[in-house]
Amino acid sequence: MVKVNLGGCKSFVSDALYSDYIGKALDAYDVLAGEQGAGNDFLGWKTLPCDVTEDIICRCESVRDLWASKGVDLVVVIGIGGSYLGARCAIEALSHSFVRKQGVPQVVFAGNNLSEDYIAEMMDLARQRNTACVVISKSGTTTEPAVAFRLVKSYIEETYGKQEASQRIVAITDAVKGALKTLATQEGYTTFVVPDNVGGRFSVLTPVGLLPIMLAGFDVRAMLAGADSERESLLVRGADNAAVQYAAMRNLLYSEQGKGVEILVSFNPKFQYLGEWWKQLYGESEGKDRKGIFPASVICTTDLHSMGQFIQDGSRNMFETVVTVENASREVVIGSDPQNLDQLNYLAGQRVEHCNRMAQLGTKLAHIDGGVPQLEISVDAINEKTLGALFYFFEFACGVSAYLLGVNPFNQPGVEAYKKNMFALLRKPGFEAQSREILERIK
Ligand code: PA5
């Protein structure tokens, strides 16, 4: 379902070097398939498309139906990193860009920053609406979602009463440990489990992603089916395996040609959050031990009018991975104008998508001429099935790629550094000893 086209790298890479890297990628594939590599206790995501039970989906439907019966028209999804990006990516990709879907609640996201303005404005919205909340934290102790949840929880309790609040709050967290689990048990919230062997950024196909996506009105069974058929196609080992090809080429460009930046490009703004989800997946999985490709993203043609100059002509340390959607869902034809003052009549009768495609092809040639290799990943349309396939493809390819690079794809030790300093500055109990030193250093 997900196709890879490496034609845009041909002029940069010899066949011999590519086949060398295919060999390395196949070795890495074997480590992932054989589950012998670093972090192999976090491989539960590999079988999620067929492991998610009908019972889990039915429990999600019960939450959806209960909230519908209460007239809930706003769901605040609280979480950060892997605990919100997958759901946001799918909901943004599948939703109308301007009109709210009828008959389902609006899903908004909070707890992914510490901006006072953002939280206050989200609360303004909550106060105007019939509100429920899904709080997601695998560890159950992350500061950003905990701060947002404290506010939303007390608002819901004050507005609807404590007993009703327990029906309007759902927690998705660890099966046994963490502050959120303790609170959820104490308050009697409906809970869903993030499996122990699935890390946050690989969790979109658990209730972490599935519940918010379903609440927003989308078909999670189709998403799992799309992911499962991608899983089956990636089970076939060989030089034609799409994940092996992607992992091989991006590592070759990085290690042999100093291309340390990968830009995920889409010519469809619905994929803006695919870029955000992908950046977390690859950034946290590969950026360690002083190694890794820096993941960036742009939306075209929008960003050709901002980042385009740099990509065409700036430092030559980057390559692009373009995610192409072969078929637009809608047709818009450009009309004829008798005056033709804008001189666009040469396009009369053409679809806007035709112009978009020509812009994509023109950009490909220009960027290749400018020294930027281009990989292409394509799906036939944007729908639940193809999103499921893309999620699975990128996760699997990430595992192969990180093992090829020689890092553990499934940990994120670097994320702790800012937290320690922040806790010391906030004088969190247990961190007082570091406070003085940190205060000295920031003077
Ligand atoms: O990929 C990861 O594990 C992280 O980015 C987490 O998703 C993120 O830090 C949120 O963690 P938690 O769900 O424990 O609140």
CA of 135 to the centre of ligand 1 (A): 13
237-281: per-residue pLDDT in tens? 999 999 999 999 999 999 999 999 999 999 999 999 999 999 999
CA of 275 to the centre of ligand 1 (A): 17
311-332: per-residue pLDDT in tens? 999 999 999 999 999 999 999 9
| Token pair for 269 | 């703004």
Token pair 């890092």: residue: 407
Band of pLDDT at residue 289, cut at 50, 70 and 90: very high
Is residue 419 among the annotated active site residues?
yes
- Select from 41, 78, 80, 147 the residue to mutate for testing ligand 1; criterion: most ligand atoms less than 8 Å from CB: 80
CA of 244 to the centre of ligand 1 (A): 27
Residues 6+ apart with CB under 8 A from 99: none
367-377: per-residue pLDDT in tens? 999 999 999 99
Lowest mean pLDDT among 19-28, 51-60, 206-215, 415-424: 415-424
Query: Is the pLDDT confidence value at 416 over 90?
Result: no
| Cα distances (angstroms) measured from residue 236 to each of 6, 30, 40, 50 | 19, 11, 20, 17
Residue 307 is classified by DSSP as T
Q: pLDDT value at position 32?
A: 98
Query: Is the pLDDT confidence value at 440 over 90?
Result: no
Is residue 385 among the annotated active site residues?
no
Band of pLDDT at residue 57, cut at 50, 70 and 90: very high
Distance CA 348, CA 326 (A): 22
User: Residue 299: what are its φ and ψ, rounded to 5°?
Assistant: -115, 130
pTM over 0.85: yes
Residues 6+ apart with CB under 8 A from 43: 32, 35, 197, 399, 410
Is residue 367 among the annotated active site residues?
no
Distance CA 38, CA 328 (A): 40
Distance CA 316, CA 259 (A): 7
Q: Spell out the alpha helix ranges (H) of 205-347.
A: 207-215, 220-234, 242-257, 272-286, 308-313
Please give the angle made by the CA atoms of 182, 188 and 192, to the nearest 5 degrees. Answer: 70
Cβ of 143 closer than 6 Å to ligand 1, yes or no, is no
Average pLDDT of the chain, as a whole number: 97
Query: Is the pLDDT confidence value at 437 over 90?
Result: no
Do residues 215 and 74 touch, judged by C-beta distance below 8 A? no
185-194: per-residue pLDDT in tens? 999 999 999 9
343-373: per-residue pLDDT in tens? 999 999 999 999 999 999 999 999 999 999 9
- Select from 85, 109, 142 the residue to mutate for testing ligand 1; criterion: most ligand atoms less than 8 Å from CB: 142
CA 32 to chain centre: 21
